[in-house]
């Protein structure tokens, strides 16, 4: 679905205004170290990550749509990121779950859960 691609593209702008356009007002994020339950908390988390990982590039690999309905869709994927911390190249990956809902003919992200890959 195009909404996931739009979300990844917005994330890679490093401009939270672009991400926020795709967020449901009640969006909740589960990160491995924090839960964000409002746009302000989500914005702080994103902007902090962008300030630490310079020139970050975020990608979704092996996307699997578990459920697609008229007004909701759920996908899982392996996320991949790369960038620079203190001028040193870093990269990593983990697992992601995204839930989108359609309201007023617009798809919005209502939930994201990111976690490390189990060893």
The whole-angstrom separation of Cα 20 and Cα 3 is 13
Burial class (CB in 10 A: 0-12, 13-18, 19+), 1: middle
The per-residue pLDDT for 118 is 77
Q: Is the entire prediction scored with pTM above 0.85? A: yes
Query: Which among 16, 23, 42 has a CA at the least distance from the CA of 100?
Result: 23
Per-residue pLDDT tens for 55-97? 999 999 999 999 999 999 999 999 999 999 999 999 999 999 9
């Amino acid at each position: 679905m195009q909404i996931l691609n739009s979300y990844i593209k917005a994330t890679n702008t490093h401009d939270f205004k672009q991400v926020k356009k795709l967020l449901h007002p009640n969006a909740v994020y589960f990160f491995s170290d924090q839960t964000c339950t409002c746009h302000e908390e989500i914005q702080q988390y994103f902007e902090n990550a962008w300030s630490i990982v310079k020139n970050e590039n975020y990608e979704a690999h092996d996307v699997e749509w578990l459920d697609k309905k008229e007004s909701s869709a759920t996908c899982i994927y392996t996320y991949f990121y790369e960038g620079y911390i203190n001028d040193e190249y870093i990269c990593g990956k983990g697992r992601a779950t995204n839930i989108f809902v359609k309201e007023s003919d617009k798809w919005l992200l209502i939930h994201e859960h990111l976690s490390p890959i189990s060893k």
